[in-house]
Amino acid sequence: MKKYNNSFKQRSGSIIALDADGVLLDYNAAYRLAWERAFGLLPDLRDKNAYWAIDRWDVSRLDGMELIKFRACFDEQYWKSIPAIPNAVKACEELCSAGYELVCVSAIESQFQHARLQNLQECGFPIERVIATSGSNTGISPKAAALRELNPIAFVDDFLPYLRGIPDDIHAALIMREPNGSPNLGGELNLAHSLHPDLQAFASWWLSESRCVE
């Protein structure tokens, strides 16, 4: 596993880019509430260690009109109401106190960019900017172009494929959350400079005196 060059440590005024869903916000919990909104039933937990929401909750796979009905619940109201992951606000506050500017870089449609920012701020995150990149089927991270332009010192995501194609001089930190069905495995783990169980662990490590070059 690559280690990040310690000479970049705690540069005042540097930007740290953060993914939202799975890093700052609990998408899985919001998915469950969207299901209840669509079908009037709050699904039970199926697998607490499942990476994907559809495997975590006791729900069926949808098609046809039911799928259209469910997707309609992923509207502005949804993107404004996702709960924060425990300790994520605290982690961001620690990074800001150390002099870093935090920018959320999220693969959502641009029409929901303001809703995402409002959601983050209402949760208490010290974040003033969201960059919406939409999705991509090119094999390269849909966030790569935005990250090249933003030029942060570090980028934190929980989805390994979104590290593809980002500049190597940006520290790529991968959040290794629920393991069952996770895409965060295999040879591409070499794209990550560091691995962490959550954002609080990343912040503690990033700000520690023990971070060094291997």
Instruction: List, by residue number, the catalytic residues.
Output: 19, 21
Q: What residues contact 34, with CB distance under 8 A and at least 6 apart?
A: 70, 73, 74, 78
**96 closest CA partner among 7, 211, 12:** 12
Length of the chain measured in residues: 214
**Secondary structure E strands in 50-199:** 101-106, 130-132, 154-157, 171-175, 194-196
Contact 125, 151 (CB under 8 A): no
Q: 127 and 120 in contact (C-beta within 8 Å)? A: yes
What end-to-end distance do the CA atoms of the chain give, in Å? Answer: 9
